[in-house]
């Protein structure tokens, strides 16, 4: 009996410890603190200096979500990446209540303005379909972290928007057709799958500032898709100083032999920085790449580590503050009494 009591006490203690790590639970079925993600976000105290953990139960949450600048260190954790979906269906040419087109930015399903945002086990989606620009998530805040997330859409799926924003994507899946990873930010994608859907021609469209040392960096990623063979370019420069680098990336047969496109702007060939290191697979073709792109040497790799690219002046290490039990647990649903 004594041993049984000890086991029960340990189980209750562990459950309580996990529950204490979660601030809010979102659920459609009424079992959580809130029925919508937006309600939970707005309940976070403004300018809080410690992370706020929000657990989102399985379900499709159709809502246009905004994380304001005042909501710092917000952490969203989905119960299951494939069954916890944050979605909306606006698109650039859709008219708003004033009869004006929404534009690319306005089409976003999720706006991230607050710094130190993190997300895990979630799908971010724009469900409007192949109707032109339609953003699943726009990330403006600094030090954003995504792990085991999916980003679904067609054109302009993932908008790395903040000019001085640093973003890290780990073990994520990103799909789209044209320019489906684009923007000004410095972003690292590590161990991610980048899926080019049929009908698209370009994976990235960086608009890096001339003063920024880095743009989009892909490390140990895999480029897949159902686009036709040899039709998809690695990137084209939205702005002339675009910077995009692929390191140790497996490239499928859908990748165009030339690799990169100048967006009909010959002058961009002088200012854009497009480079690869040790690309492999049927889409890797070093000899056929455009002459104005670069093949990095082994000595160059020290400049393209996660820490080097993202550290900035504050020495940011992605995920260094995410040691909470709720974050570390992959699937257990917390019970809060």
Query: What residues are annotated to the active site?
Result: 179
Degrees (nearest 5) of the Cα angle 319, 142, 164? 135
Closest CA relative to residue 256, chosen from 221, 219, 293: 293
Query: What is the spatial distance between Cα 185 and Cα 216, in angstroms, rounded to a whole number?
Result: 7
Look up residue 202 and give its two tokens.
Answer: 């370009």
Q: What is the dihedral of CA 297, 300, 305, 311, to 10 degrees?
A: -160
Over the Cα atoms of the chain, what is R_g? 21
In this structure, what DSSP letter does residue 307 have? H
Look up residue 319 and give its two tokens.
Answer: 């995920």
Q: How far is CA 96 from CA 100, 134, 156, 183, 278, in A?
A: 5, 14, 19, 24, 46
Pairing mode of beta strands 84-88, 118-120:
unpaired
- The residue assigned the tokens 């044209």 is 178
Whether residue 88 contacts residue 109, with contact meaning beta carbons closer than 8 Å, is answered with yes
Whether residue 112 contacts residue 141, with contact meaning beta carbons closer than 8 Å, is answered with yes
Look up residue 42 and give its two tokens.
Answer: 């707005």
Whether residue 243 contacts residue 215, with contact meaning beta carbons closer than 8 Å, is answered with yes
Whether residue 80 contacts residue 331, with contact meaning beta carbons closer than 8 Å, is answered with yes
Whether residue 203 contacts residue 181, with contact meaning beta carbons closer than 8 Å, is answered with yes
Query: What is the spatial distance between Cα 33 and Cα 179, in angstroms, rounded to a whole number?
Result: 38
DSSP labels, 185-238: SEEEEES-EEEE-TT--EEEEE---TT-S--EEEES-EEEESSPTT-BEEE--S
């Amino acid at each position: 009996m004594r041993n049984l009591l000890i086991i029960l006490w340990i189980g209750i203690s562990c459950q309580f410890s996990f529950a204490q790590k979660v601030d809010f639970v979102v659920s459609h079925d009424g079992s959580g603190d809130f029925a919508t993600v937006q309600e939970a976000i707005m309940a976070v105290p403004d300018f809080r200096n410690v992370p706020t953990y929000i657990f989102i139960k399985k379900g499709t949450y159709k809502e246009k979500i905004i994380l304001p600048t005042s909501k710092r260190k917000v952490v969203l954790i989905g119960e299951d990446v494939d069954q916890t979906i944050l979605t909306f269906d606006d698109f650039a040419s859709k008219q708003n209540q004033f009869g004006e087109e929404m534009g690319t930015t306005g089409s976003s399903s999720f706006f991230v303005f607050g710094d130190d945002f993190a997300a895990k086990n979630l799908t971010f989606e724009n469900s409007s379909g192949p109707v032109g620009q339609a953003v699943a998530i726009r990330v403006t805040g600094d030090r954003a972290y995504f792990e085991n997330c999916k980003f679904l859409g067609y054109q302009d799926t993932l908008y790395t928007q903040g000019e001085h924003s640093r973003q890290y994507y780990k073990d994520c899946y990103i799909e789209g057709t044209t320019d489906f990873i684009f923007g000004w930010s410095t972003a690292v994608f590590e161990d991610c799958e980048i899926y080019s859907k049929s009908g698209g021609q370009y994976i990235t469209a960086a608009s890096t500032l001339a003063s920024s040392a880095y743009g989009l960096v892909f490390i140990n990623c895999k480029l897949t898709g159902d686009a036709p063979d040899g039709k998809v370019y690695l990137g084209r420069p939205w702005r002339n100083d675009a910077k995009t680098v692929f390191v140790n990336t497996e490239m499928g047969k859908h990748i165009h032999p030339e690799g990169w496109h100048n967006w009909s702007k010959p002058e961009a060939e002088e200012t854009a920085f497009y480079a690869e290191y040790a690309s492999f697979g049927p889409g890797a073709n070093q000899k056929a790449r455009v002459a104005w792109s670069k093949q990095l040497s082994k000595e160059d790799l020290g400049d393209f580590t996660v820490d080097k690219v993202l550290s900035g002046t504050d020495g940011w290490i992605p995920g260094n503050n995410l040691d909470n039990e709720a974050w570390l647990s992959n699937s257990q649903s917390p019970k809060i009494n």
